Structure 1
Amino acid sequence: MDRLDALKSIAAQAIRGELSFPTNVDATLRLQQALNDPECHADMAARLVQAEPLLAARTVAIANSVTYNRSGNDVTNVRAAVQRVGFRTLGALAASVIVRQLSSEITDPALRARADALWRHSAHVAALAQVIARRVSFVDPETAMFAGIVHEVGGFYMLSKAQAYPGLLDGDAEEWLEHGEVAVGRGVLLRLGVPAPVMGAIEAMWNGMRALPPETLGDTLLLANDLSPVASPLLERPGATTVQAAATIDFAVGDGTLARIMEESAHEVQSLTSALL
């Protein structure tokens, strides 16, 4: 099977919902569903989180990041961390674990390196989206961070399949957009139960549609993607802003500018990114 046929085949499976995930992804999906249950309270959530070591570590790290730890008093246990970050942030962190687990079975060194780079990119975008939402576009910051975490989930799924199809991610960007990122990405997002507003924001990013200053969740996500100091290692979408060009993006925000806000928020973005990594 050649590259294009393989892309079309994987995309068709994704559209039909025939997605094959590693076993640990299915387990974390069940955990995420349990956390979303209205009957789930803080003590139950803490017990669920403790059962997943990576999620437990990430929850404590986020709780102690600059964004969530304004008082400077670090928490040292999962229960206190859950109470501090809240259930919505906890859901985003569960999604971050799922995204990472999608590439957990990759053994090829080159593909593993691309998966690691893609997660670094995603973590930066998530942290930037949270800050931009709170200080610039005034959309919901937790939703923006969640959108940043999952915006490349289709890429992680494709990387997980690339071992069986050498050259799958090489070649024409338009083919990747049509048969890879969009079709597969939409299928995986639906399988993960991503809410419609987040789906819409990610699709707006795929289309490159945004306003400056950002007004919507899609604008926020695309600006965060452009400002990320770590570019996606997958094929660049046509017309995408390079990391170098993104450094010149600036506009007025109230009495200040985007550049000043991002400079003031640099430590916060770094703290959030480190916690996600």
Structure 2
Amino acid sequence: MEKLKDYAEIVAQASKGELVFPTSVNAALRLQLALADPDCDMEDVIRKVLGEPLLAARTVALANAAVFNRGGAPVTSVRSAVQRVGFRNLYTMAAAMVVRQFGSRIRDAALRAQAEQLWRHSAHVAALAHVIARKLTRTDADTALFAGIVHEAGGFYLLSRADDIPGLLDDPEEWMGAAQEIITREIMKKMAIPEPVSQAIVSLRGATLTPPPLGLRDTLLIAKHLAPIRSPLSPEREHASLSGFFDDNAALEQILFESADEAASMSAALLA
């Protein structure tokens, strides 16, 4: 009964826009919002990135990933990395910091392991979505990368709250469905996620894919299906909705086979 009361309180907070973010998340969120400012010039961006060592390291790693480093010449400075990846992808890296910071404060070992698995799943989904968007679904690839990074933000938030409320996530029937949608929507608002991205993410649960795949939601569905690491918060039945789709689309497997190195390079950069 107490657990139900705690969960109801979290949902009520979400409904009122009163979600509680850790201090570390707030710092990364401020950086993300600053990068979204169209008046933020290059020198200001570089100073902000240098002020966040983790973001600086990941920005350089991403700039050296195969998808951005087609010439093979490595970059070793933040300035060169920012110029290579561009503001949009840098914004995605800032969002990745926000998402990942949720798991960084978890004390419980089992929950921390779930958060790490969820992050690895998100990184693989983002990398695959970037490839699938360019080569199959005719979707903006940078948007797909960003959506893949943040699509499990609600799950990270719940894991961080479960650290303070033992047993909160023991029964999926209590927190999946409409309640989870409320929390996810409010997380998207808090992170200032653009509405088209937010809508695609919220519509993932229970969605099915009908050939030909088009748009951001379908891109994420395929990426989630193909990700080598599953989300620890998703029941296996969610992945069955794509069953049979690939039997009629052998070209997709060929596309991903040809892009395996690119996706692996990008996911490695995100996981660094």
TM-score (norm: length of structure 2): 0.94
Do structure 1's residue 249 and structure 2's residue 251 form an aligned pair? no
Query: SS at 2:238's partner residue?
Result: coil
CA distance in 2, matches of 1:270, 1:246: 24
Do structure 1's residue 187 and structure 2's residue 186 form an aligned pair? yes
CA distance in 2, matches of 1:45, 1:33: 11
CA distance in 1, matches of 2:251, 2:88: 29
Contact 2:124 2:228 in 1 (8 A): yes
Contact 2:209 2:245 in 1 (8 A): no
Match of 1:166 in 2: 166
Structure 2 residue runs without a partner (length 5+): none
Deviations along 1:71-118, one digit per CA (max 9) or x if unpaired, are 000100111000000111111110000001112211111110000000
CA distance in 2, matches of 1:220, 1:26: 29
CA distance in 2, matches of 1:103, 1:115: 5
Contact 2:63 2:75 in 1 (8 A): yes
Match of 1:275 in 2: 269
Structure 1 residue runs without a partner (length 5+): none
CA distance in 1, matches of 2:48, 2:57: 13
Contact 1:122 1:150 in 2 (8 A): yes
Match of 2:222 in 1: 223
Query: SS at 2:167's partner residue?
Result: coil
* 1:193 Cα offset (Å): 0.3
Query: Could you tell which deviates more after superposition, 34-43 or 98-107?
Result: 34-43
**One-letter amino acid matched to 1:202:** I
Alignment of 1:126-205 (within 5 A): 126-171=126-171, 173-178=172-177, 180-205=179-204
CA distance in 2, matches of 1:228, 1:276: 14
Structure with greater proportional helix content: 2
**One-letter amino acid matched to 1:14:** A
Percentage of pairs with the same residue: 51
Contact 2:129 2:219 in 1 (8 A): yes
Aligned residues: 271
Query: SS at 2:204's partner residue?
Result: helix
CA distance in 1, matches of 2:162, 2:139: 36
Alignment of 1:6-45 (within 5 A): 6-45=6-45
**One-letter amino acid matched to 1:232:** S
* 1:18 Cα offset (Å): 0.7
TM-score (norm: length of structure 1): 0.92
Contact 1:55 1:94 in 2 (8 A): yes
Match of 1:66 in 2: 66
Contact 1:120 1:230 in 2 (8 A): yes
CA distance in 1, matches of 2:210, 2:5: 36
Alignment of 1:81-92 (within 5 A): 81-92=81-92
CA distance in 2, matches of 1:208, 1:189: 19
CA distance in 2, matches of 1:248, 1:231: 19
Contact 2:184 2:202 in 1 (8 A): no
Deviations along 1:122-161, one digit per CA (max 9) or x if unpaired, are 0000001110001000100010011100100000000001
The 3 A distance-change label for structure 1 pair 247 and 42 is farther
Deviations along 1:184-232, one digit per CA (max 9) or x if unpaired, are 1111111000000001111221241433331111111111111111000
CA distance in 1, matches of 2:40, 2:10: 36
CA distance in 2, matches of 1:41, 1:93: 17
